[in-house]
Every structure is written in structure tokens, then in C-alpha cells.
A = this chain, B = another copy of it.
Amino acid sequence: QSNNAPSSYDIHDIKITGYLQTQFQKTQSPGISSFSGGDFAENSDNRFIIRRGRLKIDRVDKYSSIVFQIDATQNGVQLMDAFIQLHQPDNKRFQLTAGLFNRPFGYSIVYSSGYRDFPERSRVFQTIMPRERDIGAMLSYQPIKELRFLNIDVAVVNGSGLFARDYDSKKDVIGNLSFKFDSLANKKLHIGFGGSIYKGSVRNGTESYYTDNGNGFTKNTDPSYKGANLKRNYYGGNVQIQYDNTFGTTSLKAEYVAGVQPGVAASSSISGALASQSFSTQPATDLYLRNFTGCYIWLTQQILKSKFSALLAYDVYDPNSKMNEDQIGLDNNTTAGDIKFSTLGYGMTYLFSSRLKLTVYNERVINSPTQLTNYNKDIRDDVFTTRLQYRW
């Protein structure tokens, strides 16, 4: 279920796995920004899409392993994972991963979309780590005896994400610490929790950038700011609880993240959702330093030990946690990039087999009113999704 691993660590020659997700979606109004499979086309409020089409090839030797994964959809064919791992023959106590891999931050980023109960990762993680991957190197430590519930990862990455050669000279560092207790309370209870740090920077391409003054943004201008590396720091915590009870398996997962995110202003060419999203190329306009918070809670309840499970999710992303929504749009340099969004998701999955899954899911996407013309009330951007997934 970890994206940063081959299909199995048993020694094997080339093995091909993958999964396909095809779905129909309906939204409330055409052309909305969406974190449920990407924005809708300007005049479209419903669509069939191939959400993910993954082909993964891996191989494990005594001392090393390799993973190579591509994604093929109507949007093109792209490399998703490409990493080499070095490890000891009998265990993975120390492991070096080099190449293109999932950033080891928190729980949901590294967890495979082919196994996740919910259709998408939360809005906050899609914003701060779009497409999850980056290129670099990672050292992992997982003790094998007394402390085998422990896992530590430290990674150095470009910071510019999946489809980019680095555009600045700074690297970003990620640290992750997680604990996992697998079989408590008569093997019915499984608990995991952890914490993560991201320390990075974003290059400013202009002579100005904006900082939060509590009531909006202040512009800072100086020739030396061109080329300055502004902080990009995140802190996160996560917990997972699974309980196998007589009604069926109950699973609760939650994650919280906060930090400083360098973004830009929303404008006619940059939507609010993109204004605070991490960059893969040098942003052309002034940077805005925003203090953000985000979280999600995911609850899955198997129904009477059947093939049906009920899904309930709630997530929040506040790109500017110091600003009340009713102040956004006043003469304080705030834009649609500062608006907080909450999403209430609920639905069902039906497992035809271990390989085939049907998901029916609705998302109620909520924003508070602001002073901005287009956001003076909750915009109509709920999304309904029916997805069929096959894992091979």
C-alpha cells in the first residue's frame, strides 16, 4: 500500500501490476475548480474521465529493488515513480531510495490511490504537494526487533515536484517519524501515528514579495529580493485506528498539517486554487507568504461484514489561517487564493472482488462569504463521482 515500495519485497523478477480508475462525475456548475480529478472544462458540468491508469513494473534482488510506474490518461502518458532501493539482504533496516518517489510526509501522500478507500487525497495535500512525487534521495530506518513498530525517513528533494528539473539551486528536506502497532487487543485493533517536517524554500523571481500583517498583506520591495529563497515549512501529525468488530471493520484516519506556504495572488489567469499550490516552475509574479492549516478525517465502516462499506470524510484547507473570510477582498491585498474551503464527503464502496471496486461518492464543498464579487456566498462546486476501479 506504500507507493515507495515494490509490489512485494520478496525476491522476484519483473512483475507488472497497476490499476485503472474510470469515472463519471457531475458538478453543480460548469467550469469549476475541483480537487476531485481536476478542474471541469469551461462549459462542462459532467464528464467521463480516466482518472488514473497506472502501469507499475518492479523487480527485487537480494540487495536492491527497482520500481518504475507510468500513468496514462486522456491527459497524456507520464512517469509517476522511478526509483532504485538499496538494502540489506534479509531486512530493510536501513534502506536508501534514489530517484523519483513519493515525498515521505505524513500518511496519505505515500499511501497508494489504488488502495485508498476515498477517491482523492484531501485538498490541503493536493495543494502543498501536488502529484505527491519529487526527485531526490531518501534514507529510511526501520528497526527489526524491539523497535520494529518504528519507521524513520529523511529525504532530500528538488522541491519542484514531479514533472520538473529543479528551477532553483536549493534543495528541500523532509523528515518523517511513524509508529505502527499492528495487532493489539486480541489482534483486533491496529494503531498507527506519526509526525513529519518539511523544510524548504521557494525562489522569488521579482523584487517584491508580500508578508502577512494580521490584517492583510504588506508588500516588501528591494532589488535584493529578486532571487531570495522564501521559507516553505510544514509540520504535520497523523493517526490511524482500525478496529475489527462484529459489525465489520471500522477505520478512522486523521491528519493535520500547518506551516508557511509561498504562493502568489489569485488573478484573472490564476484561479484561487492554484494561487497557493506548490510550484514546479519559477512563479513569474510576486510571492505571497501565507500561514496555512489543513486537516482531514476519514471514517470507513464495513456494513455487517459485507462487501459494502460506508465512507464519511471531512477536510479543511485554510490557505491563510490568520485572515477571516469576511475580510478577504477588502483593500488589503487578499485574493481568492486566501479563501478557506471545507469538504464534507460521503458515499459507499462495493467490492466485487479483491480487484474490482465500485465507489459512489458525493462531496459537499463549502466556502464562507467574502467581499470578493465571485465569492460573496458559497459557490456551487459540489461534485458527485461514480468510479469503477480494477487493480491488476
Give chain A's interface residues, CB within 8 Å of chain B.
14, 16, 18, 20, 22, 24, 30, 38, 40-50, 53, 55, 57, 59, 61, 63-64, 66, 68, 70, 72-79, 82-84, 86, 98-100, 135-137, 157-158, 162-169, 171, 203, 227, 282, 352-353, 355-356, 388-390, 392
Q: Is the CB of A50 within 8 A of B166?
A: no
When A16-B57, A55-B68, A78-B76 are in contact, do A22 and B135 touch as well, CB less than 8 Å? Answer: yes
Q: Is the CB of A41 within 8 A of B98?
A: no
Q: Is the CB of A20 within 8 A of B84?
A: yes
Q: Which residues of B contact A79 (CB under 8 A)?
A: 50, 53, 72-74, 76-77
Shortest distance in angstroms between A161's beta carbon and chain B's nearest beta carbon? 9
Q: How far, in angstroms, from A83 to B53 measured CA to CA in the complex?
A: 10
Shortest distance in angstroms between A162's beta carbon and chain B's nearest beta carbon? 7
Give 21 A-B contacts (CB < 8 Å), ordered by A residue: A14-B16, A30-B169, A41-B166, A41-B168, A43-B169, A44-B165, A46-B166, A46-B171, A47-B166, A48-B136, A55-B68, A59-B392, A63-B353, A64-B390, A66-B392, A68-B72, A73-B79, A74-B164, A77-B79, A84-B390, A99-B388
Q: Which residues of B contact A137 (CB under 8 A)?
A: 24, 48
Shortest distance in angstroms between A48's beta carbon and chain B's nearest beta carbon? 4
Q: Is the CB of B352 within 8 A of A64?
A: yes
Q: Is the CB of A44 within 8 A of B169?
A: yes
Question: Which of A45, A57, A166, A390 has the most C-beta atoms of chain B within 10 angstroms of its own C-beta?
Answer: A390
Shortest distance in angstroms between A45's beta carbon and chain B's nearest beta carbon? 5
Q: Which residues of B contact A353 (CB under 8 A)?
A: 61, 63-64
Shortest distance in angstroms between A240's beta carbon and chain B's nearest beta carbon? 29
Q: Is the CB of A22 within 8 A of B98?
A: yes
Q: Which residues of B contact A77 (CB under 8 A)?
A: 70, 76-79
Q: Is the CB of A44 within 8 A of B14?
A: no
When A74-B79, A77-B78, A166-B41 are in contact, do A49 and B135 touch as well, CB less than 8 Å? Answer: yes
Shortest distance in angstroms between A77's beta carbon and chain B's nearest beta carbon? 5
Q: Is the CB of B135 within 8 A of A48?
A: yes
Shortest distance in angstroms between A40's beta carbon and chain B's nearest beta carbon? 8
When A16-B57, A57-B16, A74-B135 are in contact, do A168 and B49 touch as well, CB less than 8 Å? Answer: no
When A24-B137, A77-B77, A227-B43 are in contact, do A55 and B53 touch as well, CB less than 8 Å? Answer: no
Q: Is the CB of A72 within 8 A of B64?
A: no
Shortest distance in angstroms between A340's beta carbon and chain B's nearest beta carbon? 27
Q: Which residues of B contact A86 (CB under 8 A)?
A: 352, 356
Shortest distance in angstroms between A388's beta carbon and chain B's nearest beta carbon? 5
Q: Which residues of B contact A171 (CB under 8 A)?
A: 46, 48
Q: How far, in angstroms, from A392 to B67 measured CA to CA in the complex?
A: 10
Shortest distance in angstroms between A67's beta carbon and chain B's nearest beta carbon? 9
Q: How far, in angstroms, from A137 to B99 measured CA to CA in the complex?
A: 36
Shortest distance in angstroms between A137's beta carbon and chain B's nearest beta carbon? 7
Q: How far, in angstroms, from A48 to B98 measured CA to CA in the complex?
A: 9
Q: Which residues of B contact A63 (CB under 8 A)?
A: 352-353, 356
